A and B are shown apart, each in its own frame.
Chain A
């Protein structure tokens, strides 16, 4: 029964990773940008929510509803003043630009909020503590279930948007062939701005869950980025549903690892990530050759 419980908790944890990874996957899929500042944008979102909660005393969920448009606008601005320029300069420049952005965000947060840790758990109401005991060894937490449901809604909604709306087709067309998309009248810069805005908005959602689940400080971003990045790679780069599956696989690997030894939790996730890398990118042959 403990294994079943571990898998269940892993799915809940993985849904959180998937939400973190969603925007990363979208930006990679549409623009081929690996956004190294994605984790920091999620943490920035958590801080924006935190500030609203501190000033108004509102619930973290209400504060998120206020923070979301702010973060979406930030995404637009980020695309217009940083990423759009760097995209013109080849594939390495956006990587370096987002790396720099990551450092800038971390330092600004240090400056504004000190290195103290914060949490949104206290302002999220009873959802943080409520849970249902299914059997003696199996419990479902309200927060875990909430994250899972929201993750499915986010991924499902994004999938519907991409497959059913004209703006979604424009995004897919631009992702497949930006040059040809321009030739049929699609403004690729507008498409990229929209993609970044959506990605940063979903990152803020990840920040909300991060803040409710545990604590965050100005340098929490890179750790979140690693989990998000692993989820994207495990699920297959640029595939949206794959990212959800990848996030869940990562979460389950971590909780199963923790069953063996608590210190093995994060390591088990890394090992799964490495195994997928080796299998998918033909590393098996490389490994054999280096051993033989």
Chain B
């Protein structure tokens, strides 16, 4: 069943067109990796899906309903949660407050306790200010905060950015648990190998367009690299 359908989406920053006529579909339960070079429009696309960026044209449908004009907090209520680039925690709030403040609308499996079970490293940090956490801990809070709304679609923007490889492994291990719970995930990832490993399907963007799309298993690395850098553009 199609959970998310994007049709001819255009996103602009003034004169700059960051996303150009993107159409895509994501089925319930899928894990899709969105890859592409810096400036390809991945972050803008994710922000547009979360409602943080108002698209210039096009249509976003979630679970059959048109949500193109729904504000971000309304989309969280429907079941879309974004872990934004740069984590964007509330530094003046404690870890627990960061989590609890995000426990809006939807009820379900994820509560403070269950988030702390998936990210045990946060347990001792529970009452600490989010500003005093390490990068990995901050990322765990950011993901946990998104989970608190019990999303049906989880959008992850470069969760490995600025983290040590060991920490990235830990974050992805926890993400594996989340994915096993049946969540639908769209993640932006710079690390190609990791993206191909975790995702069932890969979408590659270049200069605001989708240039390659396919099952992760069926794509060979050369084709992906080609699309990634725009070396051999499909005619």
Binding site for B on A (CB under 8 A): 166, 169-170, 172-173, 176-177, 179-188
Contact = CB atoms under 8 A, between A and B. Distances in A.
B54 to A, nearest CB: 12
Interface of B: 50-52, 71-73, 76-77, 81-82, 84, 88-93, 97-98, 100-105, 145-146, 148-149
A185 B149 contact: yes
Q: Which residue, of B72, B89, B98, B146, has the highest number of chain A Cβ atoms within 10 A?
A: B72
Contacts of A173: 90, 93, 98, 101
B50 A183 contact: yes
A182 B52 contact: yes
B90 A177 contact: yes
Contacts of B101: 166, 169-170, 173, 181, 184, 186
Interface of chain B, helix or strand or loop or mixed? loop
B90 A187 contact: no
A170 B104 CA distance: 10
B93 A184 contact: no
Contacts of A177: 88, 90
Given A169-B100, A169-B101, A177-B88, A183 B93 contact: no
Given A182-B51, A185-B149, 11 more contacts: A166-B101, A169-B97, A172-B93, A173-B90, A179-B88, A180-B84, A180-B88, A182-B52, A184-B145, A184-B146, A185-B77
A38 to B, nearest CB: 24
Contact of B88 (A172, A183, A187): A183
B91 to A, nearest CB: 6
B89 to A, nearest CB: 8
Contacts of B72: 182-183, 185
Contacts of B100: 166, 169
* A-B interface, 3 closest residue pairs, ranked by CB to CB distance from nearest: A185-B104, A185-B76, A184-B102
B62 to A, nearest CB: 15
Nearest to A171: B101
A172 B101 CA distance: 10
A137 B51 CA distance: 65
Nearest to A170: B101
25 contacts: A169-B97, A169-B100, A170-B101, A172-B97, A173-B98, A176-B90, A176-B92, A177-B88, A180-B84, A180-B89, A181-B101, A182-B72, A183-B76, A183-B84, A183-B88, A184-B76, A184-B104, A184-B145, A184-B148, A185-B72, A185-B73, A185-B76, A185-B81, A186-B102, A188-B73
Given A166-B100, A166-B101, A169-B101, A183 B92 contact: no
A34 B148 CA distance: 34
Given A169-B93, A173-B93, A177-B88, A183 B82 contact: yes
Contact of A182 (B73, B97, B98, B145): B73
Contacts of B50: 183
Contacts of B102: 184-186
B71 A184 contact: no
A1 B102 CA distance: 55
Contacts of A181: 90, 101
A177 B131 CA distance: 13
A38 B84 CA distance: 36
Contacts of B51: 182
Nearest to A188: B73
A180 B130 CA distance: 14
Given A184-B146, A186-B101, A179 B52 contact: yes
Contacts of A172: 90, 92-93, 97
A181 B101 CA distance: 9
Contacts of A185: 72-73, 76-77, 81, 102, 104-105, 149
B72 to A, nearest CB: 4
Contacts of B149: 184-185
B81 to A, nearest CB: 8
A177 B104 CA distance: 17
Among A170, A179, A184, A187, the most chain B Cβ lie within 10 Å of the Cβ of A184
Contacts of B92: 172, 176
Contacts of B97: 169, 172
A197 to B, nearest CB: 19
A102 B200 CA distance: 60
B90 A180 contact: yes
Contacts of A183: 50, 52, 72, 76, 81-82, 84, 88
